Amino acid sequence: MSDCIFCKIARGEIPCAKVYEDDKVLAFDDIHPMAPVHVVIIPKNHISTLMDVAADKDDIINHLTAAAQKVAKIKGVDASGFRVAINCNAEGGQVVFHLHVHVLGGRKLQDELG
């Protein structure tokens, strides 16, 4: 059993402000939002980084993208616009090593890609 923080959130051991959930993913408000809308979407199964996604047989990226669309609609930023980002490894800014997608919106985003 993983003691990864996002695994604990997926198992309900750490509370979160849930935005969306299905059998494969869970989306919740980021605890340190960088925009009025800042949601993190995680696969329920532990995958450490984007580099650990098996591109040939894993549909999790499609599923995360579909979930990002749903989150954007739930948060009301689908028409105004939003940003989807995946940080990978240290120089990519990844702090939590459980794959996650950031959905940012609710204000005009500048060039904040680092």
Interface contacts to ligand AMP, rule CB under 6 A: 5, 14, 16, 28, 30-32, 40, 87, 93-96
- HEC string of 69-93 equals HHHHHHHCCCCCCEEEECCCCHHHC
Of residues 19, 14, 64, the one with CA closest to residue 43: 64
**Which of Zn ion, ligand AMP, none is residue 61 near (CB under 5 to 8 Å by kind)?**
none
Cβ proximity to Zn ion, 11 vs 107, nearer residue: 11
Question: Based on CB atoms, which residue is closest to ligand AMP, 72 or 102?
Answer: 102
In the annotation, is 100 catalytic? yes
Closest CB to ligand AMP among residues 57, 92: 92
Residue 7 engages Zn ion in binding (rule: CB under 5 A) = yes
- What does 81 bind: Zn ion, ligand AMP, none (CB cut-off 5 to 8 Å by kind)? none
Given candidates 67, 71, 72, 98, which one binds Zn ion under the rule CB under 5 A? 98
d(CA 70, CA 51): 25
- SS in 3 state form for 1-47? CCCCHHHHHHCCCCCCCEEEECCCEEEEECCCCCCCEEEEEEECCCC
Catalytic residue IDs: 100
